[in-house]
A and B are shown apart, each in its own frame.
Chain A
Amino acid sequence: MGPLAVDILGKTLKNPVMNASGTLGYGIEIEPLWNIDILGAYVTKGLSEKPHHGNKTPRVWEERCGMINSIGLQNVGVEYFFSHYFPFFEEKKLPIIVNFFGFTEDEYVSCARKIPSHDLIVALEMNLSCPNIKKGGISFGKDAPAVHNIVRAVRDVTSVPLIAKLTPEVKNIVEIARAAHEGGADGLTLINTMPAAIIDTRTRSMPLKGGLSGPVLKPIALRAVYECYREIPIPIIGAGGIMDVEDALEFLMAGARAIEIGTATFVDPFTMPKVIAGLNSWLKENNYAGIPAITGIAHG
């Protein structure tokens, strides 16, 4: 392991750079451009107990400083992922984080049960932005007691480390993070997309509602990371609008143990390799022995 290595949830990753869930397909699609095993870990597309077809198009729309997506969590289902896609990561010995979701508490629980424990599985990443169809579609992640309960329910059925991925659409993200921690989460991913909409003046309509991602999210995500780092004693993975090595450094200095890159890959598919190389040079130029030396350094 080189100077970029980071320890997280009982594993050592060769660097702190991962993709954000849902922005690097099933992993194999990027191979014509670069080898996925340069990443610290691959984060799976959001998986569910059963396959989902997702939403109708349009599913993506551009904004000045980001984009809005409404993919609708299309995925092949957790069992298909492990039978068809997981062998690719086994062959490469690349650690993965399994992102998963449900539309009811039962669906989260049964999905988590179907995820095997395996040396390469660093953690399960629970997407808490999902609408709870039993509670009128309000997302699980918006209310501290609901977060506590659902994290606990999943915690009870798996021995794999559990990361709660939080939505920024909350009054106080530290309270939500605390509820996740007390419910049994071993880590946090901050943050998911922010609900947003598009109006098209040409058609005088709203063609798309969905999650906002990209640079517009970065300062919001940085604040969430900074505040949770002070209050909640579990590792944080930072995500939201990371476009280059400078952005990545900001998250690490705010307290993120690792980072995830999403939308930037659509703008420049080589963002992740560039950030990894950039972190290496930055550490050398600034005489730091490794990433842990700068983690949370902004807190003084």
Chain B
Amino acid sequence: MDDMPGIITENSALIPGYHRLTVRLERPLGKVSPGQFVMLKVPDPEVFLRRPFSIYDARDRTVTVMYRVVGKGTDALSRARKKAPVMVLGPLGRGFSIPPAGACLVIAGGIGYAGVRMLLKRLGKRAALFLGITGKTELPLLSDLKGVEVLTATLDGSHGYHGNVVSLLKERFAPHRSQGPTIFACGPKGMIISLKEFLEPDKVPCQVSIEERMACGLGLCFGCIAETKDDTNPFKRVCKEGPVFDLWDLSL
């Protein structure tokens, strides 16, 4: 883990409102496990705190994140130009743990895809991605994902399954069940909750990456708490004990 200066080499809109940002760092980020994140200092003096983003890709001295413009910080970031200097703190948090064998079903909702993209790369053919998006206009987000089976659910029915991604999973889950799959998920809270309801009867092993507002990303401020079922110490730091948790440990 380190805090490193870097220079933006790519900050392009893949589709309106969704950007991919690549930073060339002074030194390599070091060993990254899928699901870990960075705290990025947005190059705009109006943005005070750093913002957390999942590591989308990391190789040699570059790190890539994919982000959706949702507010002040991401809006300022989307206007940063090539060659602008940024600070990148990471890799942070506890990522996914990949089982030695067995099928892996990866569920992503919207920009949650950014949080599992590195995992999908590591899993390769072992993985099937269940992706929930609003419509087919969001499909270009996947343009650089190869060699992974993708099942898509769109809310507007413009591509693949018409409905939400958990309903799609319900429909397609039967053949996977007997293989003792591991589920990985990243997406909005509503998606995680309905996923939990679906998996509850069999308590299928499931790791979820969750989000909370952060100030430090380092476990210093206790700002980013998630409630767990741990009796003695239920309030865990998403940035330190997470962002990936065992679904069955969380109190959702």
CB neighbours (8 Å) of A65 from chain B are 48
A66, closest chain B residue (CB): B48
Which B residues are in CB contact (< 8 Å) with A63? Answer: 48
Question: For residue A54, which residues in chain B have a CB less than 8 angstroms away from its CB?
Answer: 222, 225, 235
Contacts A22-B222, A57-B212, A59-B223 aside, 20 further interface pairs with beta carbons under 8 A come to A22-B221, A25-B220, A29-B218, A29-B219, A30-B218, A30-B220, A57-B223, A60-B221, A60-B223, A62-B49, A64-B48, A69-B221, A71-B221, A74-B222, A74-B235, A76-B233, A266-B215, A267-B41, A267-B50, A268-B3
B residues 148-165 touching A (CB-CB < 8 Å): none
Per-position binary interface string of chain A over residues 73-88, scored 1 when its CB falls under 8 Å from any chain B CB and 0 otherwise: 0101000000000000
Instruction: List A residues 22-39 near B (Cβ within 8 Å).
Output: 22-25, 29-30, 32-33
Evaluate contact between B1 and A33: CB separation under 8 angstroms: yes
Q: Within the assembled complex, what's the spacing in Å between the Cα atoms of A196 and B49?
A: 17
Considering only residues 253-300 of chain A, those with a C-beta below 8 Å from chain B are: 263, 265-270
A89 at the interface (CB under 8 A from B): no
Partner of A269, one of B46, B89, B213: B89
Task: List B contacts of A268 (CB < 8 A).
Answer: 3, 41, 87
B48's contact among A24, A30, A62, by CB below 8 Å, is which?
A: A62
Residue among B3, B89, B235, B240 with the highest chain A CB neighbour number at 10 A: B235
Cβ contacts B1-33/A at 8 Å (1 or 0 each):
111000000000000000000000000000000
Residues of A in contact with B (beta carbons under 8 Å apart): 22-25, 29-30, 32-33, 45, 53-54, 57-67, 69, 71, 74, 76, 214, 263, 265-270
| Smallest Cβ-Cβ distance to B51: which chain A residue | A62
- Beta-carbon contact of B48 and A267 below 8 Å: yes
A69 touches B215 (CB 8 A): yes
Residues of B within 8 A of A25 (CB): 218-222
Q: Are A53 and B87 in contact (CB under 8 A)?
A: no
B90 to chain A, nearest CB (A): 11
Cβ-defined contact, B221 with A266, below 8 A: yes
B224 in the interface (beta carbon within 8 A): yes
Query: What residues on A are CB-neighbors of B240 within 8 Å?
Result: 29
A71/B223 in contact, CB under 8 A: yes
Distance between B228 CB and nearest chain A CB, rounded to angstroms = 11
Complex partner residue of B220 from A23, A57, A62, CB under 8 angstroms: A23
Contact partner of B213 (CB less than 8 A), chosen from A33, A59, A71, is A59
Inter-subunit contact A53/B224 (CB<8 Å): no
- Which residue, A59, A66, A67, A265, has most C-beta atoms of chain B within 10 A? A59
In the bound complex, do residue B215 and residue A60 qualify as a contact, i.e. CB atoms below 8 Å apart? Answer: yes
Q: Establish whether residues A57 and B213, one from each chain, have CB atoms under 8 Å apart when the complex forms.
A: yes
The answer to whether B220 touches A60 (Cβ under 8 A) is: no
Residues of B within 8 A of A266 (CB): 49-50, 215-216, 220-221
Across the interface, which residues of B come within 8 angstroms of A267, CB to CB?
41, 48-50
Q: Looking across the interface, which residue of chain A has its beta carbon closest to that of B220?
A: A25
Most chain A CB within 10 A, of B73, B219, B225, is at: B225
A64 to B50, Cβ gap below 8 A? no
A267 and B240 CA atoms in complex are apart in Å by 17
**Residue B234 at the chain A interface, CB threshold 8 Å:** yes
CA–CA, A265 and B46, complex, Å: 17
B214 sits at the interface (CB 8 A): yes
CB B67 to nearest CB in A, in angstroms, measures 17
A30–B234 Cα distance when bound, in Å, is 22
A24→B2 CA distance, assembly (Å): 17
Q: Please report the C-alpha to C-alpha distance between residue A61 and residue B213 in the assembled complex, in whole angstroms.
A: 8
Q: Which 8 A-B pairs have the closest CB atoms?
A: A60-B223, A29-B219, A266-B216, A60-B215, A25-B220, A32-B1, A59-B223, A266-B215
Contact present for B225 and A59 (CB under 8 Å)? yes
Closest to A71 in B: B222
| B21 CB, nearest partner CB in chain A, Å | 20
Residue from B48, B50, B89 whose CB has the most chain A CB atoms within 10 Å: B48
Contact (Cβ within 8 A) A214 B219: no
Residues B216 and A265 in contact, CB atoms below 8 Å apart: yes
Closest Cβ–Cβ distance, residue A229 to chain B (whole Å)? 29
CB-defined contacts of B212 to chain A, threshold 8 Å: 57-58
Contact A60 B224 (CB under 8 A): yes
Given A66-B48, A268-B3, verify A24-B220 contact (CB < 8 Å). yes
Q: Say yes or no: B234 contacts A53, CB within 8 Å.
A: yes
Residue numbers in A under 8 Å from B50 (CB-CB): 266-267
- For A57, the chain B residues whose CB sits under 8 A away are 212-213, 223-225
Q: Name the residue of chain B whose CB is nearest to the CB of A53.
A: B235
Interface string of B201-229 (1 = CB under 8 A from A): 00000000000111110111111110000
Inter-chain contact A23/B221, CB cutoff 8 Å: yes
Nearest A residue to B233 via CB reads A76
Using A30-B218, A58-B213 as known contacts, say yes or no to A214 and B48 having CB atoms under 8 A apart: yes
Nearest residue, chain B, Cβ from A208? B213
Per-position 1/0 for B65-88, Cβ under 8 A of A: 000000001000000000000010
